[in-house]
Amino acid sequence: MPLFSRFKHCSNCGSPVDYRVPPDDNRERAMCPACGMVHYQNPLNVVGTLPVWEADGRVLLCRRAIEPRHGLWTLPAGFMELGETTAEGALRETQEEAGADIAMGPLFTLLNVVRVGQVHLFYLATLRSLQFDPGPESLEAQLFAEAEIPWEEIAFQTTRETLRCFFDDRRAGRGFGPHAIDIA
């Protein structure tokens, strides 16, 4: 999983880097005194879905088989990769973590998690079958009605907020999102 570890050496030539403000910039960056390369570090996107079984309105959660938050429940999501769109990444993560067959819907939540340098994007999705095949990152994949959601065992605040927005929108009978949320 990508984490922000401070650059100590240049990824181009291996020399130790200095932290300085490059010309025409206004922030310190890791700069290589040997080859001149500037190393930027920027926020990452986490992309996922909120899969719904439309016949009865239940939603799909996965129980995590990995750290962090082993054993807790989450919407299928993970780091966006090079070579894919946000929606393609969300679909891939849903297949990898839940083995679920879904039709992608629109963007539903955009959550900024500044503390860890992440932007989480969740798409609505409809399940096309009730067969799941959780991958190695999930202990199980299971459908939950609103009253059955294990709120005390949700792994991440971005999952909790996305579920909350979905049930609020549905109860209010209004359109579904999109919602922009900043996580403190």
Q: Of 145-164, which residues contact its own copies (CB under 8 A)? A: none
3-state SS, residue 3? coil
Under the binding rule (CB under 8 A), the answer on residue 105 touching its own copies is no
CA distances from 149 to 70, 73, 144, 178 (A): 17, 9, 6, 22
Under the binding rule (CB under 8 A), the answer on residue 14 touching its own copies is yes
Residue 173: φ, ψ to 5°: 70, 20
Instruction: Specify the amino acid at residue 28.
Output: E
Q: What's the closest the beta carbon of residue 73 comes to its own copies, in angstroms?
A: 20
Under the binding rule (CB under 8 A), the answer on residue 8 touching its own copies is yes
Applying CB under 8 A, which part among 4-12, 55-63, 153-161, 162-170 lies near its own copies? 4-12
Under the binding rule (CB under 8 A), the answer on residue 37 touching its own copies is yes
In this structure, the chain runs to a length of: 184
- Is the distance from CB of 139 to CB of 63 less than 8 angstroms? yes
Under the binding rule (CB under 8 A), the answer on residue 9 touching its own copies is yes
Applying CB under 8 A, which part among 50-58, 142-150, 161-169, 176-184 lies near its own copies? 176-184
Name the one residue in this structure whose structure tokens are 């839940």.
98
Out of 103, 114, 130, 145, which residue is the one contacting its own copies (CB under 8 A)?
114
Strand pairing partners for 45? Answer: 119
d(CA 137, CA 58): 22
Under the binding rule (CB under 8 A), the answer on residue 182 touching its own copies is yes
Return the number of the residue (43 or 57) whose C-beta is nearest its own copies: 43
Q: State the residues that interact with its own copies by CB under 8 A.
A: 1-2, 4-5, 7-16, 24, 27, 30, 37, 39-45, 66, 79-87, 106-107, 110, 112, 114, 117, 119, 136, 178, 180, 182
